[in-house]
């Protein structure tokens, strides 16, 4: 077997991202290299945040997916902005409200799957309409402004290093360790590989999956809270981009859609790839339609090229 010769699947995202960064820099001069990268890191951090939660859900078994990510993100942003009313003093209650939205939404998703025996794709899609309409009733079409403190925090850098991407990198490390070295992480991957075997090995399959869905809701909510600060407010369409992206970064990052195998670091590679590609194609002045075409073609190409682990 040529296992040692070929690169791990999750490295491909990083390699392609690097190539795009180089191409963009070559096109528009060295002066822009730093700005290109910091932009990609800042936007990539949001993709990684929602992707990490989605990864736990996808790894928990074939068919498990959370389509409610964009609407949870939006609802959490609206609710927390409403709670804070633009006041810095209310930052913590606002964060708590956002996280509460996420955990409750995750639990609601899982309950619909288990109690009503709905396929996850249907259950989470149904809930996403509910969440979206709640957000609509909360704020309507208006954009709710964030407190100045939150906006400052999301754009903060210390000695030229942006704070938020670093914080998300720490989260990635925590997710890695959780998968490898905690009881829940091992049980999640076991459940993802074979539910009957997991049950007979004494694993509380329901509890393990519930935690995965709740974590996914929480990361989406956290992303909504931060994104509202970063982009100047909560808007109804703020989550739209994250529906497909949260799934694409997980799969491109080396997590198996068949379940039982997860890769937290790879999500970064895929997220940077997505964001740098958008930057690159923008720099080249390519039209939106062609941009989407190229994005799709590149995703297919990478997934086809990446050596996959043997799945039986």
Residue with tokens 């619909």: 112
Site string for other proteins, 27-56 (x = CB under 8 A): ------------------------------
**Residue 119 touches other proteins, criterion: CB under 8 A:** no
**Residue 194 touches other proteins, criterion: CB under 8 A:** yes
**Residue 176 touches other proteins, criterion: CB under 8 A:** no
Q: Which residues pair with 144 in a beta bridge?
A: 234
**Residue 312 touches other proteins, criterion: CB under 8 A:** yes
Residue 181: CB minimum distance to other proteins, A:
5
- The only residue of 103, 193, 231, 295 in contact with other proteins, by rule CB under 8 A: 193
**Residue 142 touches other proteins, criterion: CB under 8 A:** no
**Residue 196 touches other proteins, criterion: CB under 8 A:** yes
**CB nearer other proteins, residue 92 or residue 200:** 200
- The only residue of 116, 155, 201, 301 in contact with other proteins, by rule CB under 8 A: 201
**Residue 62 touches other proteins, criterion: CB under 8 A:** no
Residue 265: CB minimum distance to other proteins, A:
18
- The only residue of 85, 87, 133, 182 in contact with other proteins, by rule CB under 8 A: 182
Q: Which residues pair with 152 in a beta bridge?
A: none
Residue with tokens 């208006």: 142
Site string for other proteins, 252-271 (x = CB under 8 A): ----x---xx----------
Residue with tokens 């939106």: 288
Of residues 103, 89, 116, 72, the one with CA closest to residue 224: 72
- The only residue of 174, 177, 286, 297 in contact with other proteins, by rule CB under 8 A: 177
Give the residues lining the site for other proteins (CB under 8 A).
1, 177, 181-183, 186-187, 189-190, 193-194, 196-198, 200-203, 256, 260-261, 309, 312
């Amino acid at each position: 077997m040529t296992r040692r010769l070929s690169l791990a699947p999750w490295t491909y995202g990083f390699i392609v991202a690097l190539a795009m960064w180089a191409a963009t820099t070559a096109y528009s001069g060295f002066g822009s290299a730093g700005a290109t990268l910091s932009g990609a890191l800042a936007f990539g951090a949001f993709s990684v945040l929602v992707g990490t939660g989605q990864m736990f859900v996808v790894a928990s078994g074939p068919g498990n997916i959370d389509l409610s990510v964009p609407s949870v993100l939006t609802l959490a942003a609206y609710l927390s902005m409403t709670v804070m009313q633009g006041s810095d003093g209310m930052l913590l209650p606002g964060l708590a409200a956002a996280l509460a939205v996420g955990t409750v939404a995750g639990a609601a998703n899982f309950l619909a799957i288990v109690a009503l025996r709905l396929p996850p794709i249907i259950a989470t899609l149904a809930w996403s309409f509910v969440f979206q309409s709640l957000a609509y009733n909360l704020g309507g079409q208006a954009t709710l402004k964030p407190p100045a403190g939150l906006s400052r925090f999301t754009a903060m850098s210390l000695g030229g290093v942006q704070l938020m991407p670093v914080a998300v990198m720490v989260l990635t490390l925590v997710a890695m360790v959780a998968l490898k070295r905690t009881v829940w992480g091992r049980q999640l991957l076991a459940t993802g590989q074979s539910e009957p075997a997991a049950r007979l090995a004494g694993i509380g399959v329901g509890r393990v999956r519930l935690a995965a869905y709740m974590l996914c809701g929480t990361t989406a909510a956290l992303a909504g809270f931060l994104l509202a600060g970063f982009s100047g407010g909560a808007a109804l369409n703020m989550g739209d981009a994250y529906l497909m992206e949260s799934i694409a970064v997980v799969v491109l990052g080396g997590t198996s859609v068949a379940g039982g195998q997860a890769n937290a670091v790879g999500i970064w590679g895929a997220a940077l790839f997505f964001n740098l590609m958008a930057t690159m194609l923008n720099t080249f002045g390519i039209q939106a339609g062609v941009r989407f075409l190229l994005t799709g073609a590149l995703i297919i190409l990478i997934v086809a090229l990446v050596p996959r682990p043997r799945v039986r």
